[in-house]
Amino acid sequence: MRELLVVNPNTSALVSQLLQSHVQAAAGLHVRVRTVTARFGAPYIADEASYAVAAHATLDSWAKALADTATPPSAVLIGCFGDPGLMALRESSPVPVTGLAEAAFIEAARHGRYAIVTGGERWGPMLQRLAHALGQAQQLAGIHTVVPTGAELAADPAAAHRLLAQACRDAAHQLGVDAVILGGAGLAGMAAVVQAQVPVPVIDSVVAGTHWALRVAPQPPLRNTPGFNAPWQGLSPEMHALAPP
């Protein structure tokens, strides 16, 4: 049976439960989904500082997950719409790695130009920078952030559905896009709820991430075994174990 490792780069157990449930549903019963939670950092990533710490937490969680099992995963999904640590983890892993944002960008681009709707006002420039780094700047027409964070939206689904449906409609009409990404681990499952109220496809970043991780053709790995290239000082034992002496 294939195993998909989902790394939640924040410390919220509720977000991990949400990811586990929605990723498993999207993956199907033929895939074992295992979600792990960051051992340090922010309860929900919503600014530059928490994003920077989350990149370290992603690597640490991955190393800890490998240490805890003899069976390596078939693929790794970073369960944050922002993909902290994506390139570093991809460099360190012998199996495919993606994040919610990268996978959603790829899925949305199949429809044409797209917009992003997500929670947390500070995510705008962060996602713009990520899209540019991933070669998606031309396809991304705009980013619409709502004031509540993803965690706050997840805590009040009824209010979130109303707010996000309006935001998706506004993005579709004002930007003239072919698709809208509803991005965020805390927003898992909400795209399906608001879709009937939006005139273009609404992409669920969690579903997109799951499908990418499971259907991607394995690329020649940068390395044959998991590991880091630099020796560490003061990091976790699990990270030290994957580093050169």
For the stretch 49-105, pLDDT in tens is 999 999 999 999 999 999 999 888 999 999 999 999 999 999 999 999 999 999 999
Closest CA to 101 of 170, 87, 112, 92: 87
pTM of the complete model: 0.94
Two structure tokens written together for 173: 């009409």
Residue 23 neighbours by CB distance under 10 Å? 25
Locate CATH 3.40.50.12500 in the chain: 2-100+211-241, 101-205
Q: Which CATH code of 3.40.50.10470, 3.40.50.12500, 3.40.50.2000, 2.40.30.160 fits the domain covering 101-205?
A: 3.40.50.12500
Closest CA to 40 of 103, 84, 81: 84
H or E element, residue 191: helix 190-194
210, 27 contact by CB (below 8 A) = yes
161, 190 contact by CB (below 8 A) = yes
| Vertex 198: Cα angle to 8 and 112 (nearest 5) | 75
- The alpha carbon torsion through 88, 89, 94, 97 (nearest 10 deg) reads -120
Lowest mean pLDDT among 7-11, 78-82, 118-122, 169-173: 118-122
- Backbone phi, psi, residue 202, to 5°: -110, 120
Question: Helix, strand or coil for residue 33?
Answer: strand
Residue 219's pLDDT band (cuts 50, 70, 90)? low
For the chain, give the mean pLDDT.
93
Lowest mean pLDDT among 21-30, 82-91, 100-109, 219-228: 219-228
Q: Which amino acid is at 161?
A: H
pLDDT (tens digit per residue) in 160-199: 899 999 999 999 999 999 999 999 999 999 999 999 999 9
Lowest mean pLDDT among 87-91, 119-123, 216-220: 216-220
Q: Which amino acid is at 1?
A: M
Res 183: pLDDT: 94
Residue 244 backbone class (left: φ over 0; alpha: ψ -120 to 50; beta: rest) = beta
CATH architecture for segment(s) 2-100+211-241: 3-Layer(aba) Sandwich (3.40)
Q: How many residues does the chain have?
A: 245
Residue 180 neighbours by CB distance under 10 Å? 31
Residue 221's pLDDT band (cuts 50, 70, 90)? low
Residue 113's pLDDT band (cuts 50, 70, 90)? very high
- How many angstroms from the chain centroid is the CA of residue 227? 22
117, 146 contact by CB (below 8 A) = yes
Name the one residue in this structure whose structure tokens are 């990520």.
130
Q: What is the mean pLDDT of residues 219-245?
A: 90
